């Protein structure tokens, strides 16, 4: 009897579920096709108006005696990641529109830009595309007849042999830097007073770089130290987390 009781309950529950299913299917069939098609369509994309730097500038609050002025903006530059000035006052910019992830199958189109103020009025008036076709460049430092660029797994030197601010050749100098997280890859290129080129990597990166002096490894955050003349690469500092930025004071101390 106990078995029959539970069996009856089971049959009643199944019957009730079938009734609910049939009612749902009947209701769905009664809906207009237009309503179903509207529900299936993704929401329409809205155009986002271009930002107005003047409106943003009006919200700044700075101490007395200070001023914030606009030097360059879209469309001249897009997603600037690092900037460095050269000895002529020109601003070199690593620009990555695909950061942080490139669409699968899409070509790499990131660029190194050189922005200059020709009439010296405090605002950039000319932009040069120094190099393009890069994949998430996160650092640039002008030097050695061109510019050093952190390009994903590689440290690259682009040479400008005729001085027209367009790269004439590309040389992959070092490779093997990790890319586990594009926010942590090789970045922050900076010349030191000692003639070394310094650059950072962040905590989730594991780098194994082959050099003429042997394989150099850094498995976490830190700062690399590189001498271009001899291709000597070493670890200047270990133990950092996600440090973007590296500067020196007049005494050569790192900050």
pLDDT at residue 1 is higher than 80: no
Name the more confident of 218 and 56: 218
Q: Which H helix or E strand runs over 27?
A: helix 2-30
- Four-residue CA torsion sign, 116, 119, 125, 130: negative
Q: What is the pLDDT of residue 18?
A: 60
Q: Give me the residue spans of the domains in the chain.
A: 2-40, 72-240
What are 47-69's pLDDT values in tens digits?
777 778 888 888 999 999 999 99
With beta carbons less than 8 A apart as the criterion, state whether 71 and 124 touch: yes
What are 13-50's pLDDT values in tens digits?
445 556 656 665 555 555 554 444 444 566 676 777 77
- The token duo for 197 is 């080129």
Q: What is the pLDDT of residue 146?
A: 98
| Nearest residue to 211 (alpha-carbon basis) of 174, 183, 245 | 174
Summarize the confidence of residues 222-244 as an average pLDDT: 95
Lowest mean pLDDT among 29-43, 122-136, 210-224: 29-43
Q: What is the pLDDT of residue 77?
A: 87
CATH superfamily of this structure's domain 72-240: TolB, C-terminal domain (2.120.10.30)
Which pTM does this prediction carry?
0.79
């Amino acid at each position: 009897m106990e078995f029959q009781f539970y069996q009856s309950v089971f049959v009643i529950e199944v019957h009730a579920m079938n009734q609910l299913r049939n009612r749902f299917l009947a209701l769905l069939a009664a809906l207009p096709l237009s309503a179903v098609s509207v529900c299936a369509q993704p929401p329409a994309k809205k155009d986002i108006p271009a930002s107005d730097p003047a409106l943003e500038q009006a919200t700044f609050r700075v101490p007395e005696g200070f001023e914030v002025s606009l030097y360059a903006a879209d469309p001249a530059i897009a997603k600037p990641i690092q900037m460095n000035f050269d000895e002529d006052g020109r601003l070199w910019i690593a620009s990555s529109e695909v950061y942080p992830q490139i669409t699968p199958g899409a070509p790499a189109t990131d660029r190194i830009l050189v922005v200059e103020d020709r009439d010296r009025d405090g605002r950039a008036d000319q932009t040069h595309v120094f190099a393009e076709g890069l994949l998430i460049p996160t650092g640039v430092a002008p030097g050695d007849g061109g510019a050093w660029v952190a390009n994903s797994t590689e440290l690259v030197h682009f040479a400008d042999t005729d001085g027209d601010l367009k790269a004439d050749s590309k040389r992959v100098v070092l490779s093997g830097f990790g890319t586990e997280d594009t926010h942590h890859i090789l970045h922050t290129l900076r010349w030191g007073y000692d003639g070394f080129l310094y650059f950072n990597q962040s905590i989730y990166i594991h780098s194994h770089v082959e050099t003429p002096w042997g394989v150099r490894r850094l498995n976490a955050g830190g700062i690399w130290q590189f001498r271009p003349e001899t291709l000597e690469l070493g670890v200047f500092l270990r133990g950092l987390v996600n440090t973007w930025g590296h500067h020196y004071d007049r005494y050569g101390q790192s900050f």
